[in-house]
Amino acid sequence: LLLDLLPPGVCSLLNPAAIYANNEISLGDVEIYGFDYDYTLAQYSNLLHSMIFNTARDILIEQFKYPEGLGKYDYIPGFAIRGLHYDVQKSLLMKIDAFHYVQLGTAYRGLKPVPDEEVIELYGGTQHIPLYQMSDFYGKGPSLKQFMDIFSLPEMTLLSSVIDYFITHGIEFDQVHLYKDISDAIRDVHVKGVMYKWIEKDMEQYILHGDEIYAVLNRLVNHKKKLFLITNSPFSFVDKGMKHMVGKNWRDLFDMVIVQADKPNFFTDRRKPFRKLDDNGSLQWDKINQLEKGKIYKEGNLFDFLRLTGWRGSKVLYFGDHLYSDLADLMLRHGWRTGAIVPELETEIRIINTEQYMHSLTWQQALTGLLERMQMYQDAESKQVLLEWMKERQEIRSLTKNLFNPQFGSIFRTFHNPTYFSRRLVRFSDIYMASISCLLNYDVNFTFYPRRTPLQHEAPLWMDQLCTGCMKTPFLEEMVHIR
């Protein structure tokens, strides 16, 4: 039956190297391309996460005097996913959907799941998190913190490991102090430059896609596009990384390079003026009245940047990996076009393209349709059948979740709703992709048109046919060829 429901070619429908549009955007209208550096131009291997975890763990033991037994904990690849929320007071790491509901089965205290009943009890008999407790514009709420940075994967794992140790050994701890200590230890890894030294020492091992980044930048310059870089990283680190990926003359490609920008404050705070660096990275003292090509600038703010360059509105497209720090202000306050870099997209699409996923999803949809249609039958025998269908549907949903991540599932969906992360992705980015290199698959004048996905009252015109055993998805044959 499942094979009859699935049309030919559906298991290779999505292309991991494609760019996906939330909003219609024509690259032909874009004259200026801006980039973040870390996890945008420079993509890093997962080995970096283990190094961050180990170093922060050792800082906790040696400087914060945490128990030496923590040294037995190693980084667990694939434990956490991006976009999770952490309730500081309850020591809960969990996935929340776009409607502020906790996805049951995805709440963890330490390294162990918390039973659904306990989660509901902790939130006063509901799975819902009230708006006043939720994250603010930048992912920080009064009691909940959202982890949106790819660098936060080791932080979440360390947080869970330390809590696991304390609970296992019956040690009482103050949740607020513990969270702050771990945040400070992770921050020290970045602020004190330890991470930069590892990457500089072995760029071949840590930096991915270097040749493709050169190809993207070179192609844009050849088509008379202006390029700029705004990053929070220091100049010496960016300089070495760009020389590795692009070549010693990488600065010739950029009209503007701004380092240690202190995003997101760069986009909202008018107080910090720009400072110029010389070719050795030393600070200059002169007042900045213009931003010159080939020069390096530090700090500054977007308001001076706009005044000095005149680069405004939809002719500017800026790429970054952090939805809050990189993209939110630019889209909502300044009208720039934005592109989100989501490296996890590649892995998730490969999973979606598997026969196992498509079979699970199709049968889940079919069962949902049966439950919806047959729920009016309330005799004893029918009720039993309905219960069995509900149980089977729940089992399939769990199976589908586990294909992405056994603890938390996909970063884009709960069982059926978009995640809180996914809703922010749609809100703050015109387009999104796994890597900047995806731009190489499109003409520089290409127009991205978002697919007309159904609103719920339009759904019978679309995928609902699955539930009747007849699949007639509009434009399916055309979509198969968009590869």
| 269 carries an active-site annotation | no
Per DSSP, the residues of 40-73 read: TTBEE-THHHHHHHHHHHHHHHHTS---GGGGG-
Kindly state the tokens that stand for 154: 């080791």
Residue 25 neighbours by CB distance under 10 Å = 22
| Distance of alpha carbon 251 from alpha carbon 293, whole angstroms | 9
Cα separation of the two ends of the chain = 28
User: Which residues of the chain, if any, have pLDDT below 50?
Assistant: 464-483
Residue 167 has, within 13 A of its CA and on its CB side, a CA count of 14
CB-based contacts of 267: which residues, under 8 Å, 6+ apart? 301, 302, 329, 330, 333, 334
Coil, helix or strand at residue 243: helix
Residue holding tokens 């819902």? 128
Residue entry with tokens 């760019």: 19
Q: How far is residue 364's CA from residue 5's CA, in Å, rounded to a whole number? A: 12
- Determine the Cα–Cα distance for residues 47 and 404; give it in Å rounded to an integer: 20
Q: What angle do CA 90, 94, 97 make, to 5 degrees?
A: 125
Q: What confidence score (pLDDT) does residue 131 get?
A: 78
According to the model, what pLDDT value does residue 138 have? 63
What backbone torsions phi and psi does residue 317 show, to the nearest 5 degrees?
-125, 120
* Annotation: binding site: 36, 38, 321
Of the candidates 29, 38, 279, 464, the residue annotated as catalytic is 38
Prior bond of 264 cis (ω within 30°): yes
Tell me if residue 109 falls in helix, strand or coil. Answer: strand
pLDDT for 385:
95
Q: Which of 186, 192, 164, 171 is nearest to 70 (CA)?
A: 164
**Token code pair at residue 227:** 């390029």
Respond yes or no: is residue 184 known to be catalytic. Answer: no
Buried b (16+ CB within 10 A) or exposed e, 299-338: bbbbebbeebbebeeeebbbbbbbbbbbbbbbbeebebbb
Q: What is the CATH number of domain 28-45+208-343?
A: 3.40.50.1000
Task: Give CA–CA dist 317/320, Å, rounded.
Answer: 10
pLDDT in tens, 380-414: 999 999 999 999 999 999 999 999 999 999 999 99
Q: Determine the pLDDT at residue 21.
A: 96
Q: What is the DSSP letter of 209?
A: -
Domain edges within the chain: 28-45+208-343, 48-200, 346-427+439-448
Q: Two tokens at 219?
A: 């192609």
Q: Binding site for GMP, residues?
A: 38
Q: Which residues contact 221 (CB under 8 A, 6 or more apart)?
A: 227, 253
Phi, psi (rounded to 5 degrees) for 123: -105, 30
C-alpha angle 477-482-483 in degrees, rounded to nearest 5: 125
Q: What is the CA radius of gyration of the chain?
A: 24
Neighbours of 223 (CB within 10 A): 11
The DSSP secondary structure of 294-330, one letter per residue, reads T-EEEE--HHHHHHHH---GGGEEEEES-IIIIIIHH
